[in-house]
Structure 1
Amino acid sequence: MYKLIVRNMGYFLISYDLHDPIQVYRPLVEEIQKIGSCRQCLDSLWVVKSNETCGLLKERLTKHIDRDDKLLVVGLKPHWAVHNLSKDCTDWLSKKI
């Protein structure tokens, strides 16, 4: 007998530091965009909607960065605050989270 596990969609903050000055962001950014509804709020900070866990998202994204690069994936709650972000990002957060 199989057990079906259903996860509710959640919102996650994804942030990264790529250390090689010539490091190409494109593969990582393209993978982040494939996750689902997303918005880039700062240069290396995204908010995404996904039914995956933080751990699964981390595993998925580390395939697109070097070993010495840094990656942070954090689940978001519907409580947040911003200062001086773009209207596009703030509007998106207001509608989605």
Structure 2
Amino acid sequence: MLRGLLLLLEAYLKHSYSVKASRNGENMILVTYDLISPGQKYQRLIEAITSMGESCHCLESTWLLKTSLTAEQVATRLRQQIDGNDKLLVTAFNPHNSNGWLSQEAWNWIYGYVNR
């Protein structure tokens, strides 16, 4: 799974694009990362993520973010918080076409976006 995410990240970085606002200028963005370097800067990265909008820490290194920013803008801001060998994937998240095993709290957060 991690290898697949890294391949997506490489494709994203090669073909970066902006995601248009999905509704009322608000986007739901998925952020996932692997901090590789010794002395990883988790707190700095988490503070950057949570400063950009309403956020949900749904998996160990994965966040969902409701923001007026595009995926490209979020990625640009977060790249300033990580080292060159760390991994980062930022992409639009479609809550209408998602499935998985998350905590009830995470699903409630996602459904709250859908039902706005």
> What's the TM-score bracket when you normalise by the shorter of the two chains?
0.7 to 0.9
Which residue of 1 is the match for residue 28 of structure 2? 11
Give ranges in structure 2 of 5+ residues lacking alignment: 1-20
Residues 86-97 of structure 1: pairs in structure 2 closer than 5 A: 86-97=103-114
Which residue of 2 is the match for residue 64 of structure 1? 81
- Choose between structure 1 and 2: higher strand proportion: 1
Q: How many residues align structurally?
A: 91
Assess if the C-alpha contact under 8 Å between 2:41 and 2:81 holds in 1: no
CA distance in 2, matches of 1:21, 1:43: 18
Greater shift, 8-17 or 70-79, is seen at: 70-79
Classify the secondary structure of the residue corresponding to 1:35.
coil
Which residue of the other structure, out of 53, 78, 84, is the alignment partner of 1:36? 53
Q: Deviations over 1:20-45 (max 9, x none)?
A: 24312000000100011110000100
Q: Which has the higher contact order (CA 8 A, sep 6+)?
A: 1
CA distance in 2, matches of 1:57, 1:19: 20
CA distance in 1, matches of 2:74, 2:41: 20
Classify the secondary structure of the residue corresponding to 1:22.
coil
2:112 aligned partner, one-letter code: K
Identity of aligned residues (%): 32
2:81 aligned partner, one-letter code: H
Following superposition, the deviation at residue 86 of structure 1 comes to: 1.2
RMSD (Å), alpha carbons: 1.5
Question: Any runs of at least 4 consecutive aligned residues in structure 1 with deviations exceeding 3 A, and if so which?
Answer: none
TM-score (norm 1): 0.86
**Is residue 97 of structure 2 the alignment partner of residue 79 of structure 1?**
yes
Change (3 A) 1:56 1:90: same
Larger C-alpha radius of gyration, 1 or 2? 1
